Structure 1
């Protein structure tokens, strides 16, 4: 008696897509040829069921050719999308990440982290570029990082700074020549010509010190730029402070019985200027001896860039330099403001007041801008502050005197000044 299952199989009849009848033969032999397909349900914009051809069976062929199956094309029940559409080749800069719960060949493309490129040998991991290199635009190759500093070849700003520095230095030298030419006149004598000569020379050096900040930093320029700028600027501010003190003493000395007469002369202003300047010189020497500035390669601040800059070595001497200059400028401003109403012929206190107001305003505004920038922009902020503050001192103090010397020489007489 035949099993019931075999009887049921014999009774199976079906029609294919060509309306051809398919049924089992005698002894339950399989009909042939047969296509092996993989039925799939795809859920996207609409539900759809379709099949994919994955192999065939043909009873009439030789035994080793009867059954052909391609497992790579099969999507199993746990696969959530059709096999042919589950994964695609990842673009450069991406890595393959196995999709959780999917077939082993089903993956997502995940963007490589910053500074990484696609690994050509293993598509499932990203490769970190060396410290001095960065991925190219295609993110398939590491290339050298771009170096950044105030460059003569690339930055227009450096040309503006250079021209301004030379121009202001030339103006300072021109004014120095005019003052030297009129050195014996009452106007130049009354405003302490020795301090005026020192101030003009220090302002010239301040303008020229800008070139230490421009171009590619090296160890020697890093050591010189902050220290030379600090010393030269301190000499300028110390000269202004000495001028202010002498203005105050000079008008007190003319009062009957005043004890200030013994301080009138060249010794006191020279002593003030040398003493105040020597403190900054000592600070600079200690700075160079203990922790001098040096060239630094900053590879962390900006992705894909190496910032070539100067490291101050120790920030304490740097802030002492700026703080000390600010202190001298503040003292000069307060003293000049107090004596600004004295007779105008000999009094340059009001010009000193304006010059120190410009100086302090520039550097107070510079500090937050300096601390919030990096690289060449930080250098540009400091250079701008040097040029602006030096130019403010030059114009406020010397242009009014230059106007009298060149355009109103009739006012440059002892009689006219005594009448004032």
Structure 2
């Protein structure tokens, strides 16, 4: 088909499905190939280009004063024929027609619309790219054609397979399908799609392939049976098929035989919108609900009216261009022209008159409701036209070429047209933007189709969304889920995952030897949480927080200290107050009976000081109960140390007084009492207490005790305790008390057998024995006790030793004062001594 004009555009279209090529015997000149099996859709593609050229010529705002023409060739879906046609277009010589031994034809074309096949486009562009001949394909999808080094002048108005793969992944991501099977064809289309899909899934991390199977090109029953068995056994419920309808027909026969249902098919553009042969009531139980990627559908106003104007040329039916229209006529009306063009009509039939009415015949040729590849042809023609228009609008001296020159039709270099084609940008009447990126790829957009199974048993393919691509937002998917038909009882999308989603509180651990989508859900360990699904790891809680039982968020750790509200704290508090009150009662008894002999014996003033210091000892145990604070931590050990030193110092002085009195009672020993008068006793107690006060002061200044959050005892609990600051200071404090206690014990032990009037030495010996035993046992128990139990042990040691001193020193005296008053006389006391 051809039309003259100022500028000629070329086109390559599959007007026939098959071709016959004679054997090359090299003994005679080979015959021209013949084409057969008329392709109505291919012919409509050619007519769409003719319509676009006519529409541009009638548009005064586009290419004014320039008439476009075209020369269109049938490639017969054969690489050799398509390649020869492309060379004829760029050379301007038609090798198919030889008249008077002279090759004739139209002028060379400035650009070609085609080819429809990636394989043919690769071959043709490899050669034409050397001469920078612009070639705009409407159906070649191989992403390898985006290589500008190999194909510098190749453009296309259909998205590449790379975008189709990403569009597939967007659909998988939208419905949460992370586990899918893949079926591909045994050619470059299938293998390249498989590599791209696996690569994109690996990079994006959106899913995994359960299996990849290659469909045989022929009807290999055993291989098909094996593939269907794999599909049945797999847990993947989604099947992605980068195939053509011929492959699907063979596969579906085996699927129907084995009754494999419950699969969600995801179809490539190779069979989504064109496989009418699969949309039968027998196959819809298996293919119903199929989602697929389809070439963008467009509207081409006026195309149907243009197609209705086609008429055969009865006067010149033997010319090559007219014969293509004539054969369409014969194919559509099942007739033939007389005489029949040799090699074109298959079979007989009625004689064509040329007056048949296209509107009265049922033909897909006039069905323009689903224009997809035709829409791409339409955009390809306009892309070439707009690039020519931009070139012709160049102002001399402002051009983009050397010396700011402009290109002209008279001296056009095709690489100059490529320059403008790379920068073309326009919008179709349907509202789609057309421009090419640096690889010659159009702004990508696909329709998302759904196979709908109607209640009456019929089927239809409906548009349910689109996938767009942009340089800024990547791939965007828009779906109308309310329109989607799901071929499942639930009427909802199927779940297709290798492993169920890991809920919050767990993390994923991959199963060894399996894809990354197959994993186990392991609960987060103690102290770690995860509040999102499908996390690869858990996050540690902050120091003062711990994981809740569900491990999905951190909660404040429980705090533990020796509280007034817990039983142990209550018991210790009650015991401390009991001891304090007892000391007060004993002190009251001694004050009331201060003139009695048993009170006056052995220095009553020191007895009062012991009772007061014991009262302080009982009260200082309260500092170990309650939440530790800085002042309580600093005060508890200082108060404890000084109180006990006061108590033990008084007892030591009492013991020394007993020893001095005993020595004074011997001949020549009276002078020893002058060193233990009342002032000396008070001074001794004060000096001994001052040493402890100095120790406490040095401790507090150098390394003061302070509140401390201890987490080493319990991971999920904070133990509030008082850190001693300096273990040396604490050891010196205890050691000093122990030294005084041991000294008191030794002196009391030495004077334990004095006359009975001085028997308080026995009480002191016994009291110091109890005191030392308590504190010797305290040290290992305190060191090994965790948390608040250490405070409880120390408080218990204080109370036990205080009660030991109180009971052993003042118990016998109170017994005599209150219950045996007859023994509380000087005579009785002295008498007891005489008896001894």
TM range (shorter): 0.7 to 0.9
**d(CA) in 1 for partners of 2:223 and 2:539?**
59
**d(CA) in 2 for partners of 1:104 and 1:12?**
28
Partner of residue 255, structure 2 = 35
Is contact 2:219–2:250 with CA below 8 Å preserved after alignment?
A: no
Is contact 1:35–1:55 with CA below 8 Å preserved after alignment?
A: no
Q: Which of these residues, 690, 693, 696, is aligned with residue 284 of structure 1?
A: 696
Q: Given the superposition, is the C-alpha separation of residues 346 and 226 from structure 1 closer, same or farther in structure 2, using an over 3 Å criterion?
A: same
Is contact 2:583–2:806 with CA below 8 Å preserved after alignment?
A: yes
Report the Cα offset of residue 352 of structure 1.
0.9
Q: Which of these residues, 631, 641, 648, is aligned with residue 237 of structure 1?
A: 648
Is contact 2:523–2:551 with CA below 8 Å preserved after alignment?
A: no
SS at match of 1:143: strand
Rg (Cα) greater in structure: 2
Unaligned runs of 5+ in 2: 1-215, 229-248, 266-270, 292-494
Residues 59-95 of structure 1: CA distance to partner in whole angstroms, max 9, x if unpaired?
93159x999699xxxxxxxxxxxx9896344455321
Alignment partner of 1:103 is 2:103: no
Q: TM-score, structure 2 length as denominator?
A: 0.42
Q: Given the superposition, is the C-alpha separation of residues 213 and 37 from structure 1 closer, same or farther in structure 2, using an over 3 Å criterion?
A: farther
SS at match of 1:160: helix
Partner of residue 138, structure 1 = 550
Partner of residue 187, structure 1 = 598
Is contact 1:346–1:417 with CA below 8 Å preserved after alignment?
A: no
**d(CA) in 1 for partners of 2:763 and 2:710?**
43
Partner of residue 61, structure 1 = 278
**d(CA) in 1 for partners of 2:801 and 2:636?**
17
Q: Given the superposition, is the C-alpha separation of residues 387 and 274 from structure 1 closer, same or farther in structure 2, using an over 3 Å criterion?
A: same
Report the Cα offset of residue 327 of structure 1.
1.1
Q: Given the superposition, is the C-alpha separation of residues 202 and 36 from structure 1 closer, same or farther in structure 2, using an over 3 Å criterion?
A: farther
Moved more, 186-195 or 88-97: 88-97
Is contact 2:504–2:532 with CA below 8 Å preserved after alignment?
A: no
Alignment partner of 1:313 is 2:530: no
Alignment partner of 1:228 is 2:639: yes
Equivalent pairs counted in the alignment come to: 377
**d(CA) in 2 for partners of 1:6 and 1:375?**
77
Residues 35-77 of structure 1: CA distance to partner in whole angstroms, max 9, x if unpaired?
1899xxxxxxxxxxxx9975789993159x999699xxxxxxx
Alignment partner of 1:251 is 2:662: yes
The CA RMSD measured in Å over matched residues stands at 3.4
Q: Given the superposition, is the C-alpha separation of residues 156 and 126 from structure 1 closer, same or farther in structure 2, using an over 3 Å criterion?
A: same
- Normalized per residue, which structure has more helix? 1
Partner of residue 394, structure 1 = 806
Alignment partner of 1:209 is 2:620: yes
Q: Given the superposition, is the C-alpha separation of residues 10 and 134 from structure 1 closer, same or farther in structure 2, using an over 3 Å criterion?
A: closer
Is contact 1:117–1:141 with CA below 8 Å preserved after alignment?
A: yes
SS at match of 1:391: helix
Q: TM-score, structure 1 length as denominator?
A: 0.80
Q: How does 1:83-162 map to 2 (within 5 A)?
A: 87-90=499-502, 92-120=504-532, 122-153=534-565, 155-162=566-573
SS at match of 1:176: helix
SS at match of 1:303: coil
Q: How does 1:364-383 map to 2 (within 5 A)?
A: 364-383=776-795
Unaligned runs of 5+ in 1: 17-28, 39-50, 71-82
**d(CA) in 2 for partners of 1:31 and 1:156?**
78
Q: How does 1:305-344 map to 2 (within 5 A)?
A: 305-344=717-756
**d(CA) in 2 for partners of 1:329 and 1:285?**
22
SS at match of 1:297: strand
Q: Given the superposition, is the C-alpha separation of residues 224 and 102 from structure 1 closer, same or farther in structure 2, using an over 3 Å criterion?
A: same
Is contact 2:656–2:747 with CA below 8 Å preserved after alignment?
A: yes
